[in-house]
Amino acid sequence: MQSIELLKKELKNLIITSLNLQNTTEQEIQEDEPLFREGLGLDSIDALELAVALEKKYSIKFEDEKLARQSFQSINTLASFIHQKKHSLSA
Amino acid sequence: MENFCAYIGERTRSKGNSILFRVDDPSEREVAWNVFEQEMDATACFLKSCQIQEKDKILCLVSRPLSWLKLFFAALKIGAIPIVGNFRDRFFLQGILSENSPAYVCSDEEKELEPFLSSSSKVILLNDFASLEKYDIYALKDADDILCALYTSGSMGKPKYIEKSYRNLITELQFLKNLLKMQQDDVVLSLVPNVHIYGMLFGLLLPIMAGAQAIYTNCLLPREVMKIARDKNVNFLIGAPIHYQAFIETNDPDQKMSHLKLAISSGGPLPARVAQKFFRLTGVNILEIYGSTETGGIAYRLWDGMVDSPSLQLFPYIEKKIEAQSEINELVIQSPAISSNVLMAENRGWHHTGDFVRFEEGNRFKIVGRQEQIMKVGGKRISTTQLEEEIKTIPGIKDVAVVRMESSSYRESGVAFVEIQENANLIRSEIQKEFQKRSANYRSIQDIIILDKIPRNPNGKILYSHLRINKTNPKIGMIIPTYNHGLILRKVVLSALEYISDILVVVDGSTDNTMEVLQNLPIKILAFPKNRGKGRALKTGFQEAKKLGWNYAITMDSDGQHKAQDIPQFLKAISENPEAIVVGDRNMELPSIPSSSKFGKKFTNFWLKVETGLSIADGQSGFRAYPIHSINAVHSWFNRYEFEVEILARSAWKGIPIISIPVQVDYHPEGKRISHFRPFMDNFRTTILNTILVTIRILMLVHGLVKKVIRKVKASCKV
């Protein structure tokens, strides 16, 4: 099982590449900062693009809209959501 | 009836308490026609009590969809001008305050109003007003007065301010109502916010005109959206390309949206792959609308699974201007739907879309390219020249060129190539930080690359396309096989160098001045001591390309019949179809084309169809793009012209997709052009090839059949 720190690093890079944020560096994304509206200032289309990319990469499914929204709050919440999903898959 | 609120009044009387608008988010809410009219009237009274007059501009900072709707229509009803947009950008407020300070700013949240407290605009907090007064007056406006204004999305850069008159909107709506055949009992589900012109027209005004029910949802997940579509018996779906892409990638077996009549896509180009797969999965056609916030819809096409890539059909009320007598023109239009403030700013009476198109019969066209300087970002246009100006203001920058990158995403972005002043010691991250600080458009630049020198042609013009190829990832190079074309070869190579920086010329034993004319060119050369054939030259070229680390090779003939201007089309096709061989389909209708070539094309295509079952538009064309790794795995026997036919058949058998794109062709009048294609001998050799290929094909089919029979026999034995 992949460590959560590694996962966060991976997520930041995925956000940067899939949303054309090459201007942003990994270090600039704060792990507890809101990803949408404030912080990186992503919008709902970004969120959808990111959701599609995450589902593909981690073979997970976002099934519940409310849960998905909560998990999209920050890198931290997103990492723990994916970690949990992967864990429950392999369990 | 030059006030949309009148439609609401009318429908209230005929539809009463049926649903007008529903917001499908976690706190689902809905409102009936009659209730909405009451609330709209109460809001109108409230606005009037705040002294708002006709033609006053009201900036609407309300984010809850239902409250937004009330404010929008109440403002229309009293004749004020609501200004709407997605106001979340940190650069946004500065922009409004400096360029366009509205008389009023209205919100239902106090904190939204704070930035305006010190401005000259009056702030209004929308209270919960209990009064349900009637407001019976509809402000009467002239059709050309401004009805409302939109700011384009600010999340990707500086928002643009666009005014819309009643005529602008109603012209398009009346046409759309007929095109979509929207009925009064239909249900429309919109995934696009109403503050976007596309969402406003399709998701709100059109349903209101038709008397249909409008649902807006900000649900993101495709499964949720499909669930709403099923539960609420949705007939029309309004989405952006990314929504459809998400749909097809969900792979949900439960995808049936049985009431759905039509899906609509706009806001960016819809990839063919997405449209075709959506149709296969759901059986629903996608109507794609091409347009912009400035112009509204310009053209449409229906993805109905019949044609691989349908042409766009101009909306009937749009007039086009053909500026030059050439096959490809910039699309320049005039229409009652174009915002007058946009036309006025352009000061020409005609709107230049920046898109290059090829017109067909009946006002149909295909988009074949775009002005180098225009990027499309989420339905908005950003000029790279403007970005260059912004970057130039950073101290220490000497020269800069912003290059638009081809992208399959709806959001294009550019790469900035910069040249630094000698004494300055700028590094990339510093430039990025500075740019981010001073520009609202910083997200439109995906990368900054420092160069020693920005390449310019002898006239000082930046070689944009050259820069673009430098940045392409995967690596794409060009192979030009040549035999005794010394007269024109240098010109051919030079024109290609304008577009692509990695060129490999394979000299196939030329006995003329070929080696001389290739001197002092920044290219790679492979030379055979004697003539071995075009096929051998290409095969050797592909092997070399692999060594050079290329992922794709574009091949072009050396006799000048192909136009380097078509190279960007290949790049685009490669990015959209990374697995495929891309074949340039030559337009053979021109009178200057020798009839032997026309025959050759038809002859080849017939055989290819027999051999592979594929309809390939132009199986003889040498203007192609090949994916290197898969093409090197395809074996072939032939080494001359037949190779190009053979390789298509064999690739098709291997399952490599083959697609066609239109290319221009320039055959010099007979006599001047030196072709080494010998009509009789080469068509004869091709016949031998075809005989062999057909034989193999038949053997393959028989083999398959035999296997099937054996399987059946085995199966029946088991029983």
- For chain A, state the CA radius of gyration: 12
Show Cβ contacts of residue B183 under 8 Å, excluding neighbours closer than 6 positions. B210, B212
Q: What is the mean pLDDT of residues B425-437?
A: 83
Q: Are B44 and B58 in contact (CB under 8 A)?
A: no
pLDDT value of residue B588 = 59
Calpha distance B216→B25 (Å, rounded): 8
Pick the residue from chain A with its C-alpha nearest to B267.
Answer: A45
pLDDT value of residue B479 = 96
Q: How far is CA B466 from CA B414, B461, B692, in A?
A: 14, 12, 43
Residues in chain A, total: 91
Percent of chain B residues past pLDDT 70, beyond the cut: 80
pLDDT value of residue B719 = 43
Interface check for B226 against chain A (CB to CB < 8 A): the answer is no
Residue type at position B80 = A
Q: Which two tokens stand for residue B667?
A: 């055959």
Q: Which two tokens stand for residue A57?
A: 């990469």
Q: Between chains, do A45 and B429 touch, taking CB under 8 Å as contact? A: no
User: Which of A19, A42, A45, A49 to mutate to probe the B interface, most B CBs <10 Å?
Assistant: A45
Domains of chain A listed by start with CATH number: 4-90 (1.10.1200.10)
* A29 compared with B58, residue with greater pLDDT: B58
Q: What is the mean pLDDT of residues B95-115?
A: 82
Q: Are B126 and B66 in contact (CB under 8 A)?
A: no
Q: Are B421 and B397 in contact (CB under 8 A)?
A: yes
Q: Is B432 exposed, middle or buried (0-12, 13-18, 19+ CB in 10 A)?
A: buried
* A53 contacts in chain B (CB < 8 Å): none
- Helix B33-49 to helix B65-77 angle (10° resolution) is 60
Interface check for B413 against chain A (CB to CB < 8 A): the answer is yes
The distance of A38 to chain B (nearest Cα, Å) reads 8
pLDDT value of residue B358 = 87
* B435 contacts in chain A (CB < 8 Å): 23
- Range of weakest confidence among B92-96, B270-274, B620-624: B92-96
Q: Between chains, do B26 and A65 touch, taking CB under 8 Å as contact? A: yes
Beta bridge partners of B289: B300
pLDDT value of residue B565 = 86
pLDDT value of residue A33 = 82
Pick the residue from chain A with its C-alpha nearest to B249.
Answer: A52
Instruction: Tell whether the model's pLDDT for residue B46 goes beyond 80.
Output: yes
Among residues B153, B199, B194, B201, which one has the least CA distance to residue B173?
B201
The 3-class SS string of B362-376 reads HHEEEEEEECCCEEE
Give me chain B's average pLDDT, please.
82
Task: For residue A37, give the nearest of B88, B153, B218 by CB distance.
Answer: B88
pLDDT value of residue B153 = 65
pLDDT value of residue B62 = 86
pLDDT value of residue B422 = 84
Confidence of residue B458 (pLDDT cuts 50, 70, 90): low
End-to-end CA distance of chain B: 76
User: Which of B153, B220, B411 to mutate to probe the A interface, most A CBs <10 Å?
Assistant: B220
Calpha distance B45→B636 (Å, rounded): 80
Beta bridge partners of B366: B358
Interface check for B224 against chain A (CB to CB < 8 A): the answer is yes
Buried b (16+ CB within 10 A) or exposed e, B264-278: bbbbbbbbbebbbbb
Q: How far is CA B84 from CA B41, B147, B148, B203, B278, in A?
A: 20, 12, 8, 15, 32
The distance of B380 to chain A (nearest Cα, Å) reads 15
Name the DSSP class of B112. Answer: H
Multiple choice CATH, B377-467, 3.40.1350.10, 1.10.1740.10, 3.90.960.10, 3.30.300.30: 3.30.300.30
Name the DSSP class of B518. Answer: T
- pLDDT tens across B524-583, in order? 899 999 999 999 999 999 999 988 878 899 999 999 989 888 888 888 888 778 889 999
User: Which of A15, A35, A43, A56 to mutate to probe the B interface, most B CBs <10 Å?
Assistant: A43
Calpha distance A39→A30 (Å, rounded): 8
Confidence of residue B478 (pLDDT cuts 50, 70, 90): very high
- CB pairs below 8 Å between A and B: how many? 65
Q: What is the mean pLDDT of residues B681-691?
A: 68
Pick the residue from chain B with its C-alpha nearest to A38.
Answer: B88
pLDDT value of residue B593 = 56
Calpha distance B631→B168 (Å, rounded): 52
Instruction: Tell whether the model's pLDDT for residue B670 goes beyond 50.
Output: no
* B220 contacts in chain A (CB < 8 Å): 44, 47-48, 51, 65, 68-69
Q: Are B622 and B642 in contact (CB under 8 A)?
A: no
Instruction: Tell whether the model's pLDDT for residue B642 goes beyond 90.
Output: no
Calpha distance A62→B225 (Å, rounded): 13
Q: Between chains, do B249 and A56 touch, taking CB under 8 Å as contact? A: yes
Calpha distance B529→B507 (Å, rounded): 9
pLDDT value of residue B519 = 85
The residue behind tokens 């290949």 is B570
Buried b (16+ CB within 10 A) or exposed e, B531-550: bbbbbbbbbbbbebbeeeeb
Name the DSSP class of B203. Answer: I
Q: Between chains, do B221 and A62 touch, taking CB under 8 Å as contact? A: yes
Instruction: Tell whether the model's pLDDT for residue B87 goes beyond 80.
Output: no
Q: How far is CA B30 from CA B18, B33, B35, B370, B574, in A?
A: 10, 10, 10, 43, 46
pLDDT value of residue B182 = 94
Q: Are B194 and B150 in contact (CB under 8 A)?
A: no
ipTM over 0.90: no
- pLDDT tens across B18-37, in order? 888 888 766 668 899 988 99
The distance of B420 to chain A (nearest Cα, Å) reads 19
Q: How far is CA A43 from CA B69, B336, B501, B704, in A?
A: 21, 32, 37, 52
Q: Where are the domains of chain B?
A: 377-467, 472-696
- pLDDT tens across B260-290, in order? 999 999 988 888 888 998 998 888 999 999 9
Helix residue ranges per DSSP H, B130-221: 166-180, 197-198, 206-210
Calpha distance B299→B19 (Å, rounded): 31
Percent of chain B residues past pLDDT 90, beyond the cut: 29
Alpha carbon B303 to its chain's center: 15
Confidence of residue B671 (pLDDT cuts 50, 70, 90): very low
Calpha distance A24→B413 (Å, rounded): 14
Q: Could you give the angle at the alpha carbon of B633 between the alpha carbons of B628 and B638, nearest 5°?
A: 100
pLDDT value of residue B669 = 41
- Range of weakest confidence among B285-289, B403-407, B622-626, B699-703: B699-703
Interface check for B245 against chain A (CB to CB < 8 A): the answer is yes
Q: How far is CA B37 from CA B6, B84, B363, B572, in A?
A: 10, 21, 42, 49
Write out chain A's pLDDT in tens, 91 residues: 468 888 998 898 888 877 766 567 788 788 888 777 555 556 677 788 888 888 888 888 887 878 888 888 889 999 999 988 877 766 5
Among residues B577, B579, B570, which one has the least CA distance to residue B476?
B570
Beta bridge partners of B328: B358
Q: Are A48 and B242 in contact (CB under 8 A)?
A: yes
Name the DSSP class of B442. Answer: G
* B90 contacts in chain A (CB < 8 Å): 41
Count of CB atoms situated within 10 Å of the CB of B333: 19
- pLDDT tens across B209-218, in order? 999 999 998 8
Interface check for A60 against chain B (CB to CB < 8 A): the answer is no
DSSP-based three-state secondary structure for B512: coil
Indicate the fold that domain B472-696 takes in CATH.
Spore Coat Polysaccharide Biosynthesis Protein SpsA; Chain A (3.90.550)
The distance of B442 to chain A (nearest Cα, Å) reads 8
* B410 contacts in chain A (CB < 8 Å): 45
Confidence of residue B480 (pLDDT cuts 50, 70, 90): very high
- pLDDT tens across B321-341, in order? 886 667 778 899 999 999 888
Pick the residue from chain A with its C-alpha nearest to B412.
Answer: A20
The distance of B624 to chain A (nearest Cα, Å) reads 29
* B671 compared with B312, residue with greater pLDDT: B312
Q: Which two tokens stand for residue B134?
A: 């009637």
* B408 compared with B13, residue with greater pLDDT: B13
User: Is there a cis peptide before residue A34, judged by omega within 30 degrees of 0?
Assistant: no
Name the DSSP class of B288. Answer: E
